[in-house]
Structure 1
Amino acid sequence: MKTTILSLITILFLGINTVFASGEDREVKIKTSAVCEMCKARIERNLGLSKGVKGSNLNLDDKVITVKYNPNKTTPEAIKATIINTGYDADNQLANQKAHDKLPSCCRKTAAPH
Structure 2
Amino acid sequence: MKTLKTLLFSLLLTAISTVGFAQGGKKNEEVKFKTSAVCGMCKATIEKGLAYEKGVQKATLDENTKVVTIQFNGSKTDAAKLKKAVNDLGYDADDSPATARAYERLDECCKKDKGAH
Are 1:65 and 2:68 matched, yes or no? yes
Contiguous gaps of at least 5 residues in structure 1:
none
Q: TM-score, normalised by structure 2?
A: 0.82
Deviation at 1:15, TM superposition (A): 4.8
User: Among 27, 36, 42, which residue is 2:39 paired with?
Assistant: 36
Q: TM-score, normalised by structure 1?
A: 0.84
Q: Percent identity?
A: 37
Contiguous gaps of at least 5 residues in structure 2:
none
Classify the secondary structure of the residue corresponding to 1:57.
Answer: strand
Cα separation, 1, equivalents of 2:69 and 2:93: 12
Are 1:20 and 2:45 matched, yes or no? no
Which of structures 1 and 2 has the bigger CA Rg?
2
RMSD: 2.2
Are 1:75 and 2:78 matched, yes or no? yes
Deviation at 1:20, TM superposition (A): 1.9
Q: Within 5 A, what are the aligned runs for 1:46-61?
A: 46-61=49-64
When the two structures are aligned, how many residues end up with a matched partner?
112
Give deviations 1:2-40, integer Å, cap 9, x for gaps.
8xx96xx56x65554343223421111111100000000
Cα separation, 2, equivalents of 1:81 and 1:112: 22
